[in-house]
Chain A
Amino acid sequence: MAQITLDNLAHSYLADPKGPDDFALKELNHVWEDGAAYALLGSSGCGKSTLLNIISGLLRPSQGRILFDGQDMTDAPTAERNIAQVFQFPVVYDTMSVRENLAFPLRNRGRPEAYVAERVAEIAAMIGMEHMLDRKARGLTADAKQKISLGRGMVRKDVNALLFDEPLTVIDPHMKWELRTQLKKLHHDFGHTMIYVTHDQTEALTFADKVVVMYDGRVVQIGTPDELFERPEHTFVGYFIGSPGMNLLPAEVAGAEARIPGGTVPLAGHYGTPQGRLQLGIRPEHLRLSDADGLPVTIRRIEDVGRHRIVRADLAGHELNIIAPEDQPLGEGMNRVVVDPAKVSIYADDWRVTAA
């Protein structure tokens, strides 16, 4: 187990990168604390897998260093790093039995057979495959194969870190939940450093102590699920986390007031006169429909999702999502919306500005 430091790291798949656009992974400094569980969240193609492959040594970064417990491992081959990684699509050795598949990483490292047998039995129980240990891996279903891949990743106890690259994509929803629980338990029991790549926010938020949100080759925010929800540092985080995501409205900010389409809203603090393209961000959860005060809106559609209702409204030509509690009556006159000033974020060129 190790603390992994990324020092000034960047990667481009081109031999001769010209500008920042040529980089799949833009300059990054980060410390993955020993024993923490991280989720790496972001849309497809934002550099998540690139970062993972650099950590495991499958890819050499174009610039910067990577340190394990302070020791430079930038040029160390994968084998020396002693890292386990599970990929998005199941990788099993077809001609081997399930048992041989699970034992493979241990046997390659010359572990005694008794130890191998013991670990294989433990892991098989964990992934629920004890009854098919002697079957050939060929011809198993995709989720059975992925369970074997997960098992192979977890079979070594002494790994520096466990990396998961969207491992549950091919698994059916029920098993997904169960395996995620197993992974959390594994983390709890053994305290491995875990990095879990996903584009599914529920998965990220339930799995991790800390979520790293990536956007366009850059880490835009690292925080607890709560921080990501309450104080998105970047408009992408606001938009990506939450269902539906944060409402972003063009704004003009002066002091403690913001002018948005449809009217003016008070702010919780003084912002001065921030420069750049300004936006006001407010989560649908922090908007309230009212028949008396607030800004006038046109309600276009109401979706009942069970726990609450999502109101799709129109605010002076801008789409606005509002979450209304189940018990709130939504009658004819409910065509005004109230903004909770304490929950408002102001963004200048997509980055959050703090109030003075």
Chain B
Amino acid sequence: MDKPVNHKAWFLVLPVLVLVAFSAVIPLMTVVNYSVQDTFGNNVFFWNGLGWFEDLLSSERMWNALGRQLIFSGVIIAIEIPLGIFVALNMPKRGVWASVVLVLMSLPLLIPWNVVGTIWQIFGRVDIGLLGYGLDALGIDYNYTQNPIHAWITVVVMDVWHWTSLVALLAYAGLQSIPDAYYQAAKIDQASRWKVFRFIELPKMAGVLMIAVLLRFMDSFMIYTEPFVLTGGGPGNATTFLSIDLVKMALGQFDLGPAAAFSLMYFLVILLISWVFYTVMTNLDKRGG
């Protein structure tokens, strides 16, 4: 069968093409361009092939940052998902309190990220911060600016404080979609609280939880503002995650070539992990059917 050919259609998609070109393709290609060139200043560039990528792969600094990043994402997902589910299970289902709790839960999500960083930066200070001062008064030698472990705990707690709400709200939406008849049937079947969770609530939440994990992974893997404001990547390099390291390299040292190579690898890693994750989860989902 002959398809009608109409070249006017190109004009209809042209605006989108131009928009995407300027907002995504051209900037990305600029980065690609930098990643294969070197310069000694004066805007003179010469070809460096895959040199920056080779350097990067053998750079301990990058691997350390990647390691820290993976541990951070792993830890916060391991905390936020169960905690979010737990919170959602205990939120009131209906009535005035349901609305009140919903508003309270969404508050942390509405605060600008650098403000979150500032809040915790001050909150944790030993001289004037409630948390830091309080812990100190209790005899705990807490100091997140000196002690890497304390810095880590503070960053993780901050992220949990900031983002558990998101998981809880998603899980809550999943729970709300379960008809009462399921709970009633479970009572008739004499199912324990655990079995109600395991066989009714968890399967119904699986879809939104998958999205929650994906969102939290992508977001935490790109985290920059909050730890930057809170610890500035320190003490030492203890909380220097990938994006902080990248910015140091690109803007601090102005190493455009290595930074560009870094960005591309960073981008590919996120893409790869998200894809693997999504594929695995959707397959798990389908296997039942």
Contacts and interface: CB of A to CB of B under 8 A. Distances in A.
Given A87-B184, A89-B179, A136-B289, A108 B192 contact: yes
Contacts, number: 60
Nearest to A159: B188
A322 B78 CA distance: 73
Contacts of A221: none
Interface in B177-233: 179, 181-182, 184-185, 187-192, 195, 199-200, 203-204
Contacts of B252: none
Please report whether the interface of chain B is mostly helix, strand, loop or mixed according to DSSP. helix
Looking at A85, A93, A139, A149, the one whose CB has the most chain B CB atoms below 10 A away is A93
B151 to A, nearest CB: 41
Contacts of B204: 94
B203 A109 contact: no
Nearest to A56: B188
Contacts of A105: 188-190
B288 interface: yes
B190 A93 contact: no
Interface size class of A (residues with CB under 8 A): 20 to 34
A56 B182 CA distance: 15
Contact of B190 (A96, A109, A136, A139): A109
B288 A53 contact: no
Interface size class of B (residues with CB under 8 A): 10 to 19
Nearest to A93: B199
Contact of B189 (A94, A95, A152): A152
B193 to A, nearest CB: 12
A91 B190 CA distance: 14
Interface of B: 179, 181-182, 184-185, 187-192, 195, 199-200, 203-204, 288-289
Report, nearest first, the 8 A-B pairs whose CB atoms are least far apart. Answer: A91-B185, A139-B289, A78-B187, A105-B189, A108-B190, A87-B181, A93-B199, A136-B288
24 contacts: A56-B188, A78-B188, A78-B190, A87-B184, A87-B185, A89-B179, A91-B181, A91-B184, A93-B199, A93-B200, A93-B203, A94-B288, A95-B288, A96-B199, A104-B189, A104-B191, A104-B199, A105-B188, A105-B189, A105-B190, A108-B189, A108-B192, A136-B289, A138-B288
